[in-house]
Structure 1
Amino acid sequence: MGCVTFELNEGKRANRQGVQVSASRRSGTTDELGPEEPERPDGPGGPGGPDGADLLAALLDGMDAALCAFDADGVVTHWNREAERILGWSAAEAVGRQGFAGWAVREADAEEVESRLMAAMHAPGRQVHEFALLTKDGGRVLVRTQSAAVPGPDGKPAGLYCAFSEVHAQIDLERSIALSEALFDDASWGVVLVDADLRPAVVNAHAARALGTGRTAVLGRPLGDLLTRGVEELENALTHVLAEGAPPAPAEMWVGVRTPEGERRRCWRSGFLRLASPLAEEPVPLGVGWLFQDVTEAKQGEQEAALLRFRANQLHRAARAAAECEDPAEAATVHLDFALAGFADHAVLDRILIERTPGERIPFGRAPGGVPDEDAPAGPPRLVRIAATPSGGPGPSALTGHAGLPVRYGETHPVLQCVARAGSVRAGAGSVSAEEAREWARARVWPEDTVHALCAVLRSRGRTLGVVTFLRGAGRSAFQRSDATYAEDVAVRMAAALDLADLADLEGHGDAG
Structure 2
Amino acid sequence: MVRRTRPALILLCWGYQVTTPSDITSAHDIRDDHLLAALLDGMDAALFAVDGGGRITHWNRQAERLLGWTAEQAVGRKGLGGWAVRDADAADVNDRLLRVLRAPGGGGPRQVQEFPLLRRDGGRVLVRAQVTAVRGPDGRGTGAYCAFSEVHAQLDLERNLALSEALLTDAAWAVLVVDADLRTVAANDRAARSLDATPVDMLGEPLGEFIGAGIEELEGALEHTLAGQAPDGPVEMWLTLREDDCREDEYGLPVPRDVEGGERCLLGGFLRLGSPLAAQAAPLGVAWVFQDVTRTRRAARRVARRAFRDGQLGRAARAAAECADPMEAARLHLHYALPGFAEHALLDVVGTQRDPARAPALVRIAQSPEADAYPLSPEGVAVRYGAGHPAPQAVERGVPVRVSGASDTAAWAAEQRWPEGTEHALCVPLRSRGRGLGALTFLRGAGRRPFDRADTAFAEDVALRLAACVDLARATGGS
User: What's the TM-score, normalizing by structure 2?
Assistant: 0.83
Q: Does 2:456 match 1:487? A: no
**Paired position in structure 1 for 2:130:** 146
Partner of 1:127: 111
Aligned to 1:421: 397
Q: Secondary structure at the match of 2:112?
A: strand
Task: Say if 1:283 and 1:493 are closer, same or farther in 2 by CA, change over 3 A.
Answer: same
Deviation per residue, 1:231-281 (Å, 9 max, x gap): 222222222222234221232222222338945432222422222222221
Q: Which range moved further: 186-195 or 407-416?
A: 407-416
Q: How many residue pairs get matched?
A: 447
- AA matched with 2:408: S
| Aligned partner of residue 466 in structure 1, secondary structure | strand
Instruction: Indicate the larger mover: 481-490 or 466-475.
Output: 466-475
Which of 55, 58, 70 aligns to 1:90? It is: 70
Deviation (angstroms), 1:387: 1.7
Q: CA deviation at 1:186?
A: 1.9
Please give the alpha-carbon distance, in whole angstroms, between the structure 2 residues aligned to 1:288 and 1:404. Answer: 62
The yes-or-no answer on 1:171 pairing with 2:155 is yes
Q: CA 1:287–1:79 in 2, change beyond 3 Å: closer, same or farther?
A: same
Residues 1:478 and 2:450 are matched in the alignment: yes
CA deviations over 1:39-66 (Å, ceiling 9, x no partner)? 84xx873xxxxx4434333322222111
CA distance 1:407–1:91, shift in 2 (3 Å): closer
The 3-state SS of whatever aligns with 1:344 is coil
Retained in 2: the 8 A contact 1:227–1:255?
yes
* 1:425–1:454 contact (8 Å) kept in structure 2: yes
Any conservation in 2 of the 1:212–1:258 contact (CA below 8 Å)?
Answer: no
Cα displacement (A) at 1:126: 0.8
CA distance in structure 2 between the partners assigned to 1:389 and 1:6 by the alignment: 84
- 1:32 alignment partner in structure 2: none
Q: Is residue 23 of structure 2 the alignment partner of residue 2 of structure 1?
A: no
Aligned to 1:280: 278
**Alignment deviations for residues 474-501 of structure 1 (CA, whole Å, 9 cap, x no partner):** 3322211111111111122222233333
Give the corresponding residue for 1:364.
Answer: none
Q: What is aligned with 1:209?
A: 193
Q: Secondary structure at the match of 1:232?
A: helix
Task: State the match for 2:52 in structure 1.
Answer: 72
Distance in structure 2 (CA, Å) of the matches to 1:39 and 1:383: 109
Residue of structure 2 aligned with 1:450, choices 403, 419, 422: 422
Aligned partner letter, 1:484: T
Long gaps (5+) in structure 2: 1-12, 248-261
In 2, Cα distance between equivalents of 1:416 and 1:502: 20
- Tell whether the 8 Å contact from 2:211 to 2:240 is kept in structure 1 after alignment: yes
User: Whole-Å Cα distance in 1 between the matches of residues 207 and 15 of structure 2?
Assistant: 40
- Aligned residue for 1:141, secondary structure, equals strand
Q: Is the 8 A contact 2:85 2:117 kept in 1?
A: yes
Structure-2 separation of matches of 1:147 and 1:108: 21
- Give a deviation string over 1:129-149, Cα, whole Å, max 9, x none: 111223333332221111111
d(CA) in 2 for partners of 1:261 and 1:241?
A: 27
Q: State the AA in 2 paired with 1:420.
A: E
Q: Give the CA deviation at 1:4.
A: 6.7
- Identity over aligned residues, as a percent? 53
Deviation at 1:428, TM superposition (A): 2.9
Give the counterpart letter for 1:235 in structure 2. E
Judged with a 3 Å threshold, the aligned counterparts in structure 2 of structure 1 residues 58 and 327 are, in CA distance, closer, same or farther, namely same
User: Does the 8 Å contact 1:387/1:398 carry over to 2?
Assistant: no
Shift in Å, 1:226 = 2.3
Work out which of the residue numbers 372, 378, 385 in structure 1 matches 2:364: 385
- From the CA coordinates, give the structure whose radius of gyration is larger: 1
Q: Which residue type is aligned with residue 466 of structure 2?
A: M
What are the superposed Cα offsets for residues 411-457 of structure 1, whole Å, 9 maximum, x if unpaired?
Answer: 5332333233333222333x221443134323xxx334433222222
CA distance in 2, matches of 1:164, 1:336: 79
After superposition, the Cα gap between the structure-2 partners of 1:110 and 1:239, relative to the gap in structure 1 and judged at 3 Å, is same
What is residue 198 of structure 1 aligned with on the other side? 182
Question: Structure 2 matches for 1:255-294, cutoff 5 A?
Answer: 255-259=239-243, 262=246, 264-294=262-292
Q: CA deviation at 1:203?
A: 2.8
Per-residue displacement from partner, 1:66-117 (whole Å, max 9, x unpaired)?
1111111112222222222222333333333322223333333332222222
Structure 1 residue 295 and structure 2 residue 274: aligned? no
Distance, in Å, in 1 between the alignment partners of 2:475 and 2:89 is 107
User: Given that residues 183 and 191 in structure 1 are in contact (C-alpha distance below 8 angstroms), is that contact kept between their aligned partners in structure 2?
Assistant: yes
Q: Distance in 2 between matches of 1:95 and 1:8?
A: 19
Matches within 5 A, 1:462-477: 462-477=434-449
Q: Distance in 2 between matches of 1:385 and 1:260?
A: 39
Consecutive unaligned residues in structure 1, runs of 5 or more: 11-37, 46-50, 356-360, 362-375
Cα separation, partners in 2 of 1:352 and 1:57, compared to 1, 3 Å: same
Residue type matched to 2:239 in 1? Answer: V
2-side partners of 1:434 and 1:156: how far apart? 85
Q: CA RMSD in A?
A: 3.2
Q: Is the CA contact (8 Å cut-off) linking 2:128 and 2:149 kept in structure 1?
A: yes
Q: Is the 8 A contact 1:441 1:450 kept in 2?
A: no
Once the two structures are overlaid, the 10-residue window that deviates more, 205-214 or 194-203, is 205-214
| Cα distance in structure 2, aligned partners of 1:78 and 1:503 | 109
State the alpha-carbon separation in 1 of the partners of residues 231 and 344 from structure 2: 42
Counterpart-to-counterpart distance in 1, 2:20 and 2:445? 85
Q: 1:106 to 1:5 in 2, by over 3 A?
A: farther
Give the conservation status (yes or no) of the 8 Å contact 2:386–2:416.
no
Instruction: Measure, in 1, the Cα distance between the counterparts of 2:245 and 2:450.
Output: 20
Greater mean deviation of Cα atoms: 376-385 or 92-101: 376-385
- Asked if structure 1 preserves the Cα contact closer than 8 Å seen for 2:351 and 2:362, the reply is yes
The answer as to whether partners of 2:410 and 2:421 remain within 8 angstroms in 1 is no
- Cα deviation, residue 468, structure 1: 1.8
2:121 and 2:368 map into 1 onto residues whose CA distance is: 90
2:461 is equivalent to residue 502 of structure 1: no
Whether contact under 8 Å (1:229, 1:257) holds in the other structure is yes
Equivalent pair of 1:5/1:150 in contact (CA under 8 Å): no
Indicate the residue corresponding to 1:25 in structure 2: none
Q: What amino acid maps onto 1:283 in structure 2? A: A
How many Å separate the matches in 1 of 2:194 and 2:411?
38
Contact 2:239/2:265, CA 8 A, preserved across alignment: yes
From 323, 331, 350, the counterpart of 1:352: 350
Letter in 2 for 1:455: C
